[in-house]
Amino acid sequence: MSTQSSYATERAGRPGSAPPMTGWIGVVVFGGIMLFLLGLFHLIQGLVALADDRFYRARAEALALNISYQAWGWLHVVLGVAAIAAATGIFLGMLWARVLGVVIALLSAFSSMLFVASYPLWSIILIGMDVLVIYALVAHGRDVRE
């Protein structure tokens, strides 16, 4: 039997259990849902870059970081898979998943800034989602469990 537990299974009052649940836990779950969606969006963006590099507005040479769309595609696919894995861990209440979720959201925002010349509106939407994820996991992550 695993010694790890999640915030969903812990009850206040037992020795070593989590603090009483607050309403802010919903914000963390929202952050997990947004991170999951962010991962799906990165997967889609990566698969499109791998399948058809003519889909994007700018040529690869015009991007802030001069690498091919194949490389961008693989970067987005890896980021998407990592985001989905972190979101799953957040739903299970794991601390490592919240930390990884913040790191992934920071990397996602940075890669979206570099990718903005190719697909401006999509990149701006992803940056906005990254900000929401970072806020939810950093500002209220402590309310989940200590």
Mean per-residue pLDDT for 21-31? 77
Report the run of H or E that residue 146 belongs to, with start and end. none
> pLDDT tens digits, residue range 48-75?
888 887 776 666 566 666 777 788 889 8
pLDDT top residue among 120 and 7: 120
pLDDT at 73: 86
- 2-21: average pLDDT: 54
Please state the rounded mean pLDDT for residues 4-18.
53
**What whole-number distance in Å separates Cα of residue 72 and Cα of residue 110?**
13
CB atoms within 10 A of CB 70: 12
Task: Return the closest-CA partner of residue 74 out of 100, 115, 43, 97.
Answer: 43
Mean pLDDT of 16-38: 77
Per-residue model confidence (pLDDT) at position 9: 52
Per 3-state DSSP, the chain is made up of helix, strand and coil in percentages (nearest 5) of: 65, 0, 35
Instruction: Supply the pLDDT for residue 14.
Output: 55
Cα separation, 108 vs 127, in Å, equals 7
Pick 128 or 54 by higher pLDDT: 128
Q: What is the pLDDT of residue 146?
A: 45
* pLDDT score for 21: 64
Q: What's the pLDDT at 71? A: 84
Count other Cβ atoms within 10 Å, centred on residue 65: 12
> CA 146 to CA 142: how far, in whole Å?
6
In whole angstroms, what is the distance from residue 132 CA to residue 30 CA?
A: 9
Question: Which residue has tokens 């996602």?
Answer: 108
How far, in Å, CA of 49 to CA of 65, rounded? 15
pLDDT bucket at 102, cuts 50 / 70 / 90:
very high
